Amino acid sequence: MSELPLKNLRDVSERYLSEWVAPGNAGCPACGAVLAVRLAMKVLGENTWGVMTTGCMAVNYTVPGTGTARTPWIHPLFGNAPALGSGLAIALDRRNLQDDINLLIVGGDGATADIGFQVLSAAIQRQHRFIYLCYDNQGYMNTGGQSSGTTELNAVTKTSPFGSITEPKRLSEIFMNHQLKYLATANIGYPVDFMNKVLKAKQEDGPSYIQISTPCIPSWGVESAQMIKVAKKAVTTGYEILYEYSHEDITLSNPSRKFRNKSKRDPLIEYFELQKRFSHIINDDQALSLMEKRVDDNWERIGF
């Protein structure tokens, strides 16, 4: 079994024939998060224990009669997944199974940035061996689309009907300041890049964190057929930067490389105009220029 990086989608289909997330889950059509977990599980395979935090994905998997999981999973509480996962990691370690069984903890941005924030922070500090996958759709979408700690400035949610007025937490940068073996940001529009990141995390002997941006069809106000397009626009406009961080070293990932050069970026408005949650700023030059400035600041702050 080769653990070399994947080159392209053909590589994916040749190497990973099996599906560990069965069809028939209760997710919305074109849900970015469902696809993210499915692709991650392709890389991790059947020898994986999973922890699925409360949120969209827990509901997708556990509504009676769906039977989506083909590998062992636990749905814990909303805020305790990294702690329960720590216990599983201890058990794997004590039973000498840590090299044979992967441990994947999946949480949405609410679980990661808000209710389970200190829990994940401590689990990383303890250096258990696990992969934490945060599917970031910038809100509490399972409860109908309320703001979370990662909701973008100006984004309309159920709890920010005129657009969010607070800066989102810079989650990946917060966890960069933890002692992770491996950290990466990913985007569901770039599956090969994402799967290679899961592959790297899998081979680490310690905690790793991957945050993947996954559009939410109903709460972002996006057409299902446009999900991948919206996701990609986040990268091609430079709004999202995909990178890896390990051993104190930060590397720009391939899909983002070209957009270090500002002139290569798509106009930022092309990202916003695909989503109803930003429709109120499309003609607001002041808001748009602030958003553009924030993109430039991000590139500068992260150091590319």
Partner 1 sequence: MSRERDKDGGNRVTKEFLSGNQAIGEAVMLARTESIAAYPITPQTGIVNHLVNLISSKKFAATMVHAESESSALSIVVGSTLGGIRSFTATSSQGLLMMAEATYYTSGMRVPLVMTVVNRGLSAPVTIFSDHQDSMTLRDNGWLQFYCKNGQEALDTILTSYAIAEHRKVLLPVMVCIDGFAISHRSEPIVIPSQQSVDEFLPSFSPEFPYMTLDEPKFLGTAAWPDYYEEFVYLRNKALKDSQEVIIETCNKYSGAIRPIVPLISTYNAEEAEIIIIGIGSMMSTLEVIVDQLNDSSSGSVGLIRLKCFRPFPAKEILSKIKSKSKIIVLDKAVSPGQSGPLFLEISSILQTSGENIDCYGFILGLGGRELTLALGKRILHAIKELDPRSTDSRQYWIDLNHETIKRWTTSE
Contacts with partner 1, residue ranges (CB under 8 A): 46-47, 49, 58-59, 61-64, 68-77, 79-80, 83-95, 101, 118-119, 121-122, 126
Helix residue ranges, H only, the chain: 9-15, 32-44, 56-62, 81-94, 109, 117-125, 171-176, 191-202, 217-220, 227-236, 254-257, 269-272, 285-302
Minimum CB distance to partner 1 smaller for 87 or for 206:
87
CA angle, 88 then 93 then 96, to 5°:
125
Q: How far is the CB of 144 from partner 1 (least distance, A)?
A: 17
Q: How far is the CB of 56 from partner 1 (least distance, A)?
A: 13
Cα 81 from Cα 99, distance rounded (Å): 21
Q: How far is the CB of 84 from partner 1 (least distance, A)?
A: 4
Q: Is residue 95 exposed (0-12), middle (13-18) or buried (19+ Cβ within 10 Å)?
A: exposed
Burial code (b: 16+ CB inside 10 Å, e: under 16) for 118-142 equals ebbeebbeeebbbbbbbbbbbbbbb
Q: Number of helices (H) and strands (E) in the chain: give both, helices first.
A: 13, 8
Q: How far is the CB of 241 from partner 1 (least distance, A)?
A: 30
Minimum CB distance to partner 1 smaller for 53 or for 196:
53
Cα 27 from Cα 63, distance rounded (Å): 10
Q: How far is the CB of 149 from partner 1 (least distance, A)?
A: 18
Minimum CB distance to partner 1 smaller for 39 or for 124:
124
Minimum CB distance to partner 1 smaller for 91 or for 199:
91
Cα 29 from Cα 217, distance rounded (Å): 8
Minimum CB distance to partner 1 smaller for 123 or for 188:
123
Q: How far is the CB of 201 from partner 1 (least distance, A)?
A: 20
Residue type at position 127 = Q
Minimum CB distance to partner 1 smaller for 69 or for 199:
69
The pair of structure tokens assigned to 143 is 């409860």
